[in-house]
Homo-oligomer: A and B are copies of this chain.
Amino acid sequence: MPEAQSPTRKRIVDAATRLFYAEGIGRVSVDAVAEEAGLTKRTLYYHFKSKDDLIAAYLDGRDQPNLKRMAGWFDAAEGGVDRKVEAIFTNLAKAAHHPKWKGCGFLRTAAELASMPGHPAIKVGSRHKSNFETWLAGELSDCGVEEPQALAREIVLLIDGSFSIMLIHRNPDYVEAAGRAAATLVRARIAGDQV
């Protein structure tokens, strides 16, 4: 029974994170993860009962960092709530320029596992996306926006649309366009227009 907080386990998850995000879960072997972590495959299987479990652990480790990153962008932005929402997209577009950027690990993993809807990693991804949506709705509510839940959901759709389209076109203009659309939707809820 391995410890849940073992430093070895952390090394394995870190190695898996680097490789799975860079190459995709299907293109990375358990052998490759073990080598990247600097230990043998047998040790890896001592800490994780299967590759599927390792994949879930990889995503679980990305939940809070990703959330904090988005929240940081939102908090740091100047101006009204529409500008704060737009800031998420402009920062996303900036991040997408990095050569190591490969989209959203949660969405890519869900795409790879589309034929296994009950996979533990997809449940982790679902929880992460819900966490983000809930956090955003809370922020929007604090800013006095009407129907914050509905608006948060629409913004989430634009963010995840940006992630997906970027993998096809590799053109950050789409992320900027999504940011403008999001700002439009925010203003529609501030003005109290027709929904």
A-to-B contact residues, CB < 8 Å:
22-24, 26-27, 102-103, 106-108, 110-115, 117, 122, 125-126, 129-130, 150, 153-154, 156-165, 167-170, 174, 177-178, 180-181, 184-185, 187-188, 194-195
Contact = CB atoms under 8 A, between A and B. Distances in A.
A18 to B, nearest CB: 12
A169 B115 contact: no
A188 B9 CA distance: 52
A165 B174 contact: no
Q: Secondary structure of the A side of the interface? A: helix
Copies of this polypeptide in the complex: 2
A113 B107 CA distance: 13
Contacts of A24: 26, 111-115
A184 B177 contact: no
A170 B117 contact: yes
Contacts of A23: 115
Interface centre among A102, A157, A178, by most B CB within 10 Å? A157
Nearest to A188: B184
24 contacts: A24-B26, A24-B114, A26-B26, A26-B27, A102-B115, A106-B168, A107-B111, A108-B111, A108-B112, A111-B164, A112-B112, A126-B169, A129-B168, A129-B169, A154-B180, A157-B174, A157-B177, A157-B181, A158-B181, A160-B164, A161-B162, A184-B185, A184-B188, A184-B194
